[in-house]
Amino acid sequence: MALRNILKTGEPRLRKTSRRVTEFNDRLHQLLDDMKETLLDAGGVGLAGPQVGVLRDVILVMDTNREDLTEEEQIIELINPQIVEKAGEQTGPEGCLSVPGEYGIVTRPETVTVKAQDRYGREFTVSGYGLTARCFCHEIDHLSGILFTDLAERMMTPEELASGEE
Ligand code: ZN
């Protein structure tokens, strides 16, 4: 495994549309292992292929609702993910490893269900609520070149960030 460089906002690859994964081979597994290590090292809750310069439909999302699991065990690998159901609404702060130090107020569904494939190409469906639902939406947006800053109703001020106010 190896750490990959996380691209920062302004990098054109973050604005491109990713392509579907069709080969579930060693190269994909290497990418997933590297992304997992990179995510844990960066202390984030999700990571998408384009953020490490790979324009493929690959995301990692940490199911932070599963407090019984270790951080590494919380990581869900989703290949070719698609939101198939969403319900409710939540409005709150959101950030991104590619937009360091900035947070914005973004409205997302409260719960989402995602259909995806695992690293071997097997289809599965997974649901999440709260932060996990927010993260599914955020990471899937990356695959279309969308950043949370495009959706934020406003960015948080340095004063708000300093006071920890949401
Ligand atoms: Zn992000």
Q: What is the pLDDT of residue 40?
A: 97
Using a CB cutoff of 5 Å, list residues around ligand 1, an ion. 96
pTM score, whole prediction: 0.95
| DSSP structure class, residue 108 | E
Q: How far is the CA of 134 from the centre of ligand 1 (A)?
A: 11
Q: Is 139 a catalytic residue?
A: yes
pLDDT (average), residues 34-50: 97
Confidence of residue 56 (pLDDT cuts 50, 70, 90): very high
Whether the per-residue pLDDT at 164 is higher than 80: the answer is no
Q: Who wins on pLDDT, 144 or 1?
A: 144
Q: How far is the CA of 147 from the centre of ligand 1 (A)?
A: 7
Q: What is the pLDDT of residue 158?
A: 86
Q: How far is the CA of 18 from the centre of ligand 1 (A)?
A: 14
Catalytic position from the list 94, 139, 165, 166: 139
Half-sphere exposure of 130 (CA within 13 A, CB side): 7
Whether the per-residue pLDDT at 165 is higher than 80: the answer is no
Distance CA 58, CA 80 (A): 6
What CATH homologous superfamily does 12-163 map to?
Answer: Peptide deformylase (3.90.45.10)
* pLDDT tens digit sequence for 66-121: 999 999 999 999 999 999 999 999 999 999 999 999 999 999 999 999 999 999 99
Q: How far is the CA of 144 from the centre of ligand 1 (A)?
A: 12
Distance CA 5, CA 61 (A): 18
Region of 16 (left: φ > 0; alpha: ψ -120 to 50; beta: rest) is beta
The structural domains of the chain, with segments of one domain joined by +, span: 12-163
Whether the per-residue pLDDT at 14 is higher than 60: the answer is yes
Burial readout 98-126 (b: 16 or more C-beta within 10 A, e: otherwise): bbeebbbbbebbebbbbebbebeeeeeeb
Distance CA 94, CA 92 (A): 7
